[in-house]
A and B are shown apart, each in its own frame.
Chain A
Amino acid sequence: DVKVTQSSRYLVKRTGEKVFLECVQDMDHENMFWYRQDPGLGLRLIYFSYDVKMKEKGDIPEGYSVSREKKERFSLILESASTNQTSMYLCASSFNREKINEQFFGPGTRLTVL
């Protein structure tokens, strides 16, 4: 089974702090994604990556950055956390960009910014 793990299930940070969310997948997937999930808004894509050191902006990249130094790891960085970044963050991976594969999701990190 594909396993996507996220470093924390719950996280509480203060406004202005730099926040790192880590995601690791164990199936050699090329593609990795970061979403945020908010009630009534579904999932919104923040950033994605289809290769090591490659990244593409999603629909809501402002206030976020990402890093993919190794194939299995995709990190989401909140440079200076703000209260409107309080949300559930979901990481996902999929096989490769040429094939239409489903995404495999991690359990999520619920981030609260005070």
Chain B
Amino acid sequence: AQSVAQPEDQVNVAEGNPLTVKCTYSVSGNPYLFWYVQYPNRGLQFLLKYITGDNLVKGSYGFEAEFNKSQTSFHLKKPSALVSDSALYFCAVREVNTGGFKTIFGAGTRLFVKA
């Protein structure tokens, strides 16, 4: 069965510093991977996705994520954090080969960016 793990409940970073939000996944076939962000009192918004091709995926708001097949990871990164990046981040995976339709979401990581 497919699964997603976000090992950190919370990540704290100072404004201007690089940030990383970690995600690891488990699937039996090839994965489709997603990152979503949830700002306070708002629904989830799509940030980026990996389907195939380059391991480094660029998304909205200056975020990027690196797909690492050997480590089964898809960490979210940003070179310079902003206070406005403070939000709840979800990693998600959809399995490809089985034809499955469901997307599995991680438990979420809360990012705090301090001025």
B is bound to A: yes
- B46 and A104 within 8 A (CB): yes
Contact: B43 with A90, CB < 8 Å?
yes
Chain A residues with Cβ under 8 A from B108's Cβ? 42
Known: A4-B43, A97-B101. A42 touches B90 (CB 8 A): yes
A4 to B46, CA, bound (A): 13
Given that A42-B107, A43-B90 are contacting pairs, would A102 and B102 also be in contact in the complex, using a CB cutoff of 8 Å? Answer: no
- Return the CB mask of B71-115 against A: 1 if under 8 Å, else 0: 000000000000000000010001010000111011110000000
Chain A to chain B: the 9 pairs with minimum beta-carbon distance, closest first: A105-B43, A102-B46, A43-B105, A42-B107, A105-B44, A42-B105, A107-B43, A100-B32, A106-B43
Q: Which residues of chain B have a CB within 8 Å of any CB of chain A?
A: 9, 32, 34, 36, 41-46, 49, 51, 90, 94, 96, 101-103, 105-108
